[in-house]
Each structure stands twice: as C-alpha cells, then as structure tokens.
Amino acid sequence: MPGKLTAVSLKSLAPRYAESQHGGYLRRLESAAQDPKNRNIALSGRCGTGKSSVLDKFEENQKDSTLRLAISTLAPDGEGASLTNRIQKELVKQLLYSASRRTPRHSLLPGSVAAHRRGRGR
C-alpha cells in the first residue's frame, strides 16, 4: 500500500561499555593512570571506536580522581589565533566550568570562577 509507514527500530549510539570489546583498553588506561609521571592522559580516535565507553567506565571506577575534558575538531579562528592557543582556551574554559560545578558557592578558593559564572548570566 503506497504511503504506508512501517515500523523502524532505532539503535542508540550512546556509549555502552562491553568488557569483551573495551576491557583491554580500560586496563591499559588504568595502568597508565597508576604511573605517577602520567598526570594527563589523552585518548584519540575516530568516531564510534569506543573512547567514550572506555572513559565512562574509567570515570565510574575512579570517581574522585578524574577530570574529563573534550577537545573536538576546532574550526579556523577568524582572530588569527594559533591552533595551540585555541586548544589552550578550550581547556581553560572546560577547567573553569568543571571547577565551578565542584566548588561550593561561597568558597574563597576560586573566587574568579564564581565571578566568571555570575558575569555570564548564571
């Protein structure tokens, strides 16, 4: 019958940890995190390769010692800033946002963070 809609099932693309698929990568990441020389660890790879699944599980296992930052592909900047400068700006923005969520509102430590958030209409 023309124009009749058929039921289509959709598959979620949300990260989902599967030990058989991601376990080896998780163990390598946990091993790297145990080395005191490694203060920062970056994962990179194509879309859909399991980075978020591995990181979600790692964060679940290391709740109090993980800060997750994301650097997506950065478009050219009209201001002429270098790629390094744009990456640094993005990292600082994410660090400030993360710190402002974790710090009590009346804390004396990151006063500039609280002022930054209030100045942006929050």
CA angle in degrees (0–180, nearest 5) for 25-31-35:
145
> Per the structure, how many domains does the chain have?
2
Q: Which residue has the higher pLDDT, 96 or 51?
A: 51
pLDDT above 70: residue 116: no
Q: Which residue has the higher pLDDT, 94 or 37?
A: 37
Element of type H or E holding 20: helix 19-34
6 located within any domain: no
Span 105-110, mean pLDDT? 45
* Whole-prediction pTM: 0.60
* 51 and 81 inside one domain: no
Domain that holds residue 96: 73-122
* 81 and 56 inside one domain: no
31-49: burial string, b at 16+ Cβ within 10 Å, e else = eebeeeeeeeeeeeeeeee
Q: Which amino acid is at 35?
A: D
* 93 and 59 inside one domain: no
